């Protein structure tokens, strides 16, 4: 059974930082491209960041470029999203996604940016 379990969300003030983690099990993690999506209330799900299976390529949404960093540790089957200089508009549920032959989703972790 494939599982993606996110953690690290929470409440943070504008300008603050959070580090999200996603631990995968039940799949050949090193074969999967990993992505972070987010969905704010009343909005469509948005692709935030992508990292290829080897970690050799990273792609970011324009809205987070220069503030967020995606990384992975294939030995630990974990992908991270380091979020700095957080803004009010970063408030959303953040989802981990694994894509190769099949696609899998985590349950999401809430990030709230508020003063």
Torsion of CA 61, 50, 94, 108, to 10 degrees: 160
Question: Which one-letter DSSP state was computed for residue 11?
Answer: E
User: What tokens does 8 get?
Assistant: 């690290």
- Over residues 66-95, the mean pLDDT reads 98
pLDDT bucket at 25, cuts 50 / 70 / 90:
very high
What is the Cα–Cα distance from 19 to 9, expressed in whole angstroms? 8
- Over residues 70-92, the mean pLDDT reads 98
Question: Which one-letter DSSP state was computed for residue 63?
Answer: T
pLDDT tens sequence across 37-68:
999 999 999 999 999 999 999 999 999 999 99
The predicted pLDDT at position 78 comes to 98
Percent pLDDT > 70 in the chain is 100
Place of tokens 């470029």: 65
The predicted pLDDT at position 115 comes to 94
- Over residues 1-19, the mean pLDDT reads 97
pLDDT bucket at 82, cuts 50 / 70 / 90:
very high
């Amino acid at each position: 059974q494939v599982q993606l379990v996110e953690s690290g969300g929470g409440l943070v003030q504008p300008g603050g930082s959070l580090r999200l983690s996603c631990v995968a099990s039940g799949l050949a993690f090193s074969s999967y491209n990993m992505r972070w999506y987010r969905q704010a209330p009343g909005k469509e799900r948005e692709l935030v960041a992508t990292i290829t299976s080897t970690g050799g390529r990273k792609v970011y949404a324009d809205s987070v470029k220069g503030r967020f960093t995606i990384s992975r540790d294939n030995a630990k089957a974990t992908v991270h999203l380091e979020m700095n200089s957080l803004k009010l508009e970063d408030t959303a549920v953040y989802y981990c996604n694994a894509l190769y032959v099949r696609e899998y989703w985590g349950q999401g972790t809430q990030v709230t940016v508020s003063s």
